[in-house]
Structure 1
Amino acid sequence: MAYNHGYAGKLPVCQQENGYLQQQVLIEADISIGPVSITATRSEAVDFAWPMWYDSSTMLAGLGKPEVDPWGFLLPLAPLVWVGILTALLVGPTAVFLSSSCFSMKTSRWSSYLSNIYGFIRVLLQQDISVPADWWWERMVFGIWMMMTLVLTRSYAGNLMSSLAVRHIPQPYQTLRDVIDDPSATMIWQKNSINAEYLRVVKSGIIREVADLEDEGRLAYHTQMEYPRIVDTLVRQGEYVLFGIDVLLRNLMAKDFTRKGQCEFYTSRERHFPFSASIISQKDNPILPAMHNRMLALTGFGIFEEWFKTSRANSTKCLHPPKTITVNASLSLTNLWGMFVALAGGSVVGLLTFCLEVLTFRGIETFSVSTYDYTTA
């Protein structure tokens, strides 16, 4: 069933002329052959039957290629868990240091505190550690920490193995803001449509920001007849986004799935310009009450909605494409470069710490020698 193709009465429509939208008056007809979106301007020229279709506009974009998150080794544990581990590495050694200072005969020194931190880190990294046998409570603290780290490390290893087998399928353009903030993205809107007209007259808001993209060469207008070619050649690449009526975009995805057997597009979760549509007739048409009754029956029994689902094969196949897939393949350097960055960063920090320790040791040694010479003299 087509929409916006049949009109009744004197229905004004939009036409592009010299950069501005002008109105034309179509020839008179009895009724429309398909649902027409309801607007205040059109209601002045024709009568609408009971709304039979509700829809809105959204965006159609190409699915990205499956990829592994290079920082996926951080994902097995939630951010709060990482914060909890770091907190435990500070609180645990502090508690041991204070307890040793208050209840034992040991001399409280910062070297003892640093030694405790070093011991907790060794346990976390599953390395050996020696605990003095003077006080059993220290063994108890380290034993509890070992049990905790055992659960953490086993959970981390299991989740990491699972996450490395998962490929993420990017769906970056979910809102208009996502498209505006991406300098490489270009939007395509329907030429001579109501949405395009609103885009040219809006004065503020995010739609105004979208309109300003035309000055940057990131906004283009095309007709519905050009959509199949545009979707196949431009939108599929990932840098072009098609903005249009949801049902039209769903039909484009269904047609592509029927042809290729796989989902290569997705629609954004954000919706704009909600509208209702119905068939129309001339003003004060005597058959309008009968049209109302027919529309109520169609919508009340869900017949019209079922027509939309069955009019196009595979119309619901790609409505919710998967965001992740599981594969069994070798990992490459492009998938794991995040770990190598962490390794390089840790090595640099270790080298700087080593240099600081050497300089500190030499400074202390020089100060000790100079003090000894001064005292001897």
Structure 2
Amino acid sequence: MVQTLQEALEDPEIIRGLQHHPRTFRFTEEVRVVLTVVERPPHLYVKEQDDGSLSVSGPMANVLHVMASSLNFTYHLIRPVDKTYGYKMDNGTWSGMTGHTRRKEADIALAPYTRTEDRNKYLEFTHSLYSDDLQFVAGKGQPEIDPWGFLFPLDSVVWAALLASLVIAWLAMVVLGSNNNKKGVGRFTWITDLFLEHLRVALRQDLRLGQRRGSEMLLVLGWMVVTMMVMWSYSGNLVSLLAVRYISKPLQTLRNLLDSSVTLIMTRNDVFTDFLLTVKSGELQELGNLYKVGRVKYQLSKTFPDVMEKLVTKGHHVLFSPGLALDRLAANYFAKAGRCDFYKMRMALFPITHCIIGLKGNLLVRAMSYRVRAILESGLYDHWLMSSIPFSTVCRHAPSIITVREPLAINNLWGMLVVLGAGLLLALVTFCLELCVDKRNGDRAS
């Protein structure tokens, strides 16, 4: 008859072996271990068979099979009625897997448990299988056209350098030039004409050189070479940039989220939501207080795929969950729709561990911890994990800028038209002022 773990631990030899040689320990006779499980994709999947028994699959199930073979035990799987990790109820008892473990109804809880200060008082943790963060995922905006994109072919520093070069070349010509060829023309008018000549070169218009000395010609030719090279580069890049669309990703920090009007979606009754409700200051307190203003929706994790598709894609909701779980949801959506309609905010909270647990002092958990570390260091767990998520990296670094091939429309060009209209309006105002001034001078002369 197969012994239970509790019966096996009554043997002093087994106790000594687990205490002194946990790395190499192996039961001499097969032992039956009871494990409590809940589904936690992508780490663990639980399926109920026709006869009511449970089976598990996924990376953590692979770890369990390695443990069973290495330590020589069989296992029986049970699942809590509420299918949760567990929380402390009003009567002082615990629900979920934690309740199974604390009441000794199960020897091991096979699920990615996060180590916390409170849990560490009564639970034994293995080495962490995987480290993650709680992150936010939001829906991307629609591709947008930037009407001021005609300014982007040149960096702001290049625009400033070009303007500085224009001023320097103009001032140099003023110093080197003379007014001999402009008899009857005032010095101010001559200097202004020189500036306009250099500006016409930059705008690739005609140039009236007149009679100039060699040094002046050399200066003008140098300015022409500079402007031609810059403007050729500008025109080539401009054609490319007119085909660019920018995908809006406005929420990147916790402050962006708090200042927006989006609704936060998360699970209820876990260590993180409980923690948020106890924070007394700072942005985390503001995050915890969002439920008071109706900006928090509590959902079961099994509903997250529908939430992603129906709510988050609309741009009015943000999902809060472990980063790998969000990658899986985005990958499944990509496999279904062929698009990456989500992005992760840069802000991440609460670094979390993923451990197997038992009751405090459980010697089997300590022996399992050595084997967990070996699996982790070999890279097996990461390999199993990534293999279980097709398209896991496709949407992780999706670009925020895309290119399209379509005819130019007013949406692309209205920024340039605004500049043109402003220039024409300014020219018209200047022309009217010139007419007024000329008329006034004529009246005075008569």
Aligned to 1:228: 305
Change (3 A) 1:115 1:329: same
Moved more, 192-201 or 141-150: 192-201
* Equivalence map 1:103-122=2 (5 Å): 109-122=187-200
Aligned to 1:160: 238
Deviation at 1:363, TM superposition (A): 5.2
Change (3 A) 1:134 1:155: closer
When normalised by structure 2's length, the TM-score is 0.73
> Which of these residues, 110, 114, 119, is aligned with residue 42 of structure 1?
119
> Which of these residues, 386, 390, 394, is aligned with residue 313 of structure 1?
390
Deviation at 1:190, TM superposition (A): 2.6
Considering only aligned residues, what root-mean-square deviation do their CA atoms show, in Å? 3.0
AA aligned opposite 1:147: V
Aligned to 1:182: 260
* Equivalence map 1:120-159=2 (5 Å): 120-159=198-237
The 1-side partners of 2:319 and 2:186 are apart by 68
When normalised by structure 1's length, the TM-score is 0.85
> Which of these residues, 207, 217, 222, is aligned with residue 284 of structure 2?
207
Change (3 A) 1:130 1:352: same
The 2-side partners of 1:239 and 1:32 are apart by 37
Contact 2:132–2:351 (Cα < 8 Å) also in 1:
yes
> Which ranges of structure 2 fall in alignment gaps of 5 or more residues?
1-38, 47-78
Q: Is 1:55 the equivalent of 2:143? A: no
Moved more, 194-203 or 208-217: 208-217
Q: Is 1:169 the equivalent of 2:241? A: no
Contact 1:309–1:315 (Cα < 8 Å) also in 2:
yes
AA aligned opposite 2:242: L
Q: Is 1:301 the equivalent of 2:378? A: yes
Aligned to 1:72: 149
Contact 1:13–1:23 (Cα < 8 Å) also in 2:
no
Aligned to 2:61: none
Change (3 A) 1:63 1:12: closer
Contact 2:142–2:248 (Cα < 8 Å) also in 1:
yes
Deviation at 1:182, TM superposition (A): 3.4
> Which of these residues, 257, 274, 280, is aligned with residue 197 of structure 1?
274
Change (3 A) 1:337 1:15: farther
Contact 1:131–1:138 (Cα < 8 Å) also in 2:
no
The 1-side partners of 2:257 and 2:117 are apart by 30
> Which of these residues, 361, 365, 371, is aligned with residue 288 of structure 1?
365
Contact 1:171–1:266 (Cα < 8 Å) also in 2:
yes
The 2-side partners of 1:254 and 1:162 are apart by 31
Moved more, 334-343 or 118-127: 334-343
Deviation at 1:115, TM superposition (A): 0.9
Deviation at 1:252, TM superposition (A): 0.6
The 2-side partners of 1:126 and 1:41 are apart by 73
**1:89-127: per-residue Cα shift (whole Å, max 9, x none)?**
322222222333699998872212211111111111111
> Which of these residues, 354, 361, 373, is aligned with residue 277 of structure 1?
354
The 1-side partners of 2:351 and 2:438 are apart by 72
**1:175-232: per-residue Cα shift (whole Å, max 9, x none)?**
223323434x333233223222222222222223334444544333323132122111
> Which of these residues, 82, 91, 104, is aligned with residue 168 of structure 2?
91
Contact 2:139–2:342 (Cα < 8 Å) also in 1:
yes
Change (3 A) 1:24 1:364: farther
Aligned to 1:335: 412
AA aligned opposite 1:154: W
Change (3 A) 1:142 1:177: same
- Percent sequence identity is 33
The 1-side partners of 2:440 and 2:259 are apart by 52
The 1-side partners of 2:433 and 2:86 are apart by 76
Change (3 A) 1:101 1:207: farther
> Which of these residues, 344, 354, 361, is aligned with residue 431 of structure 2?
354
Deviation at 1:241, TM superposition (A): 1.6
Change (3 A) 1:108 1:201: farther
The 1-side partners of 2:89 and 2:210 are apart by 86
Q: Is 1:246 the equivalent of 2:323? A: yes
Q: Any idea what SS the aligned residue of 1:226 has?
A: helix
The 2-side partners of 1:340 and 1:296 are apart by 64
The 1-side partners of 2:417 and 2:324 are apart by 46
Deviation at 1:360, TM superposition (A): 4.2
Contact 1:12–1:42 (Cα < 8 Å) also in 2:
no
AA aligned opposite 1:224: S
AA aligned opposite 2:122: A
**1:122-160: per-residue Cα shift (whole Å, max 9, x none)?**
111111111231423222221111111110111011111
Contact 2:181–2:211 (Cα < 8 Å) also in 1:
no
Change (3 A) 1:193 1:342: farther
AA aligned opposite 1:162: S
**1:29-65: per-residue Cα shift (whole Å, max 9, x none)?**
2111111011011111211111111100111122232
The 2-side partners of 1:219 and 1:354 are apart by 61
**1:44-88: per-residue Cα shift (whole Å, max 9, x none)?**
121111111110011112223233322111111101111112222
Contact 1:12–1:41 (Cα < 8 Å) also in 2:
no
